[in-house]
Structure 1
Amino acid sequence: MSNNQLVKYVVKAADDKRAEDIITLDMKGVSYIADYFVICEGTNERQVQAIARGIKEEVEKHGGEVKRMEGFEQARWILIDIGDVVCHVFHQEDRHYYNLERLWGDAPIVEIDIEDVEDSQ
């Protein structure tokens, strides 16, 4: 699976769990950490966990591997490492505090069209 397809699955899974303010940053040329960052938020701990769980399940369903998931128990900032794609699922309050979009301001925002992604149901 290409990184472009993987990002679409991640964004669709987050959207399916009603994640808010989903942003994808193209990290190529900006950082060696990953090719893409997907950043989103939930309004409470339960929703943050549901978003992270949904992303993990969707990636694995399509043959991808979640290498690591950090912060799931606290559900304030869950980091999901999928290799060249790293997802940051924030609690709304913490997202505004850490403001990764500003920290990685050199990275262009990528528009992801999830309409053509097969239904995850």
Structure 2
Amino acid sequence: MSTKPDTAKSDALLVTILKSLDDMKAEDVVQIDLRGMSEMGDYMIICSGRSSRQVAAIAQNLVTDVKAAHRRNAKLEGKSAGDWVLVDTGDIIVHVFRPEVREFYQLEKMWLSPEEQAERGMPTGPSTHDPSAE
């Protein structure tokens, strides 16, 4: 069974991204396969940094690593605030959050089935966010 060239490129890029996130001590890394679910990319990665400074550093290091390994420019959004930084590499979208912001938006719940959430030890009930408490 052969792998499509685009899939092979996405998979190689995925390896680079996961290594970069590990090198920068990103926490709670979740990889979501979007192939067949969305046209926005092949994978989505969601991870956390402990502080705004670490979130920004993780994202900037990721952009540098992707460019060095794949000669590909990645788009970076939200770095100045450091609460939620989105890195768009074309085939893979990476969301780097501070933990509180990640809990608020709960992107994993939007993209993972209840079964996948349970496998990852995530609560599968309704959102724990209560807008009336703000």
TM-score, normalised with respect to structure 2: 0.76
Matched, 1:97 2:104: yes
Q: Show the counterpart of 1:60.
A: 67
Give unpaired runs (5+ residues) of structure 1: 110-121
Decide whether the 8 Å contact of 2:66 with 2:74 is kept in 1.
no
Q: How big is the shift at 1:63?
A: 2.5
SS in 1 for 2:72: coil
Q: Which AA in structure 2 matches 1:84?
A: D
Q: How big is the shift at 1:52?
A: 0.4
Q: How big is the shift at 1:27?
A: 0.3
**Separation of aligned partners in 2, 1:42 and 1:11:** 14
Alignment of 1:29-48 (within 5 A): 29-48=36-55
**Greater share of helix residues, 1 or 2?**
2
TM-score, normalised with respect to structure 1: 0.83
CA-based RMSD of the aligned residues comes to: 1.6
**Greater share of strand residues, 1 or 2?**
1
SS in 1 for 2:97: strand
Question: Larger Rg: 1 or 2?
Answer: 2
Bigger relative CO (Cα 8 Å, ≥ 6 apart): 1
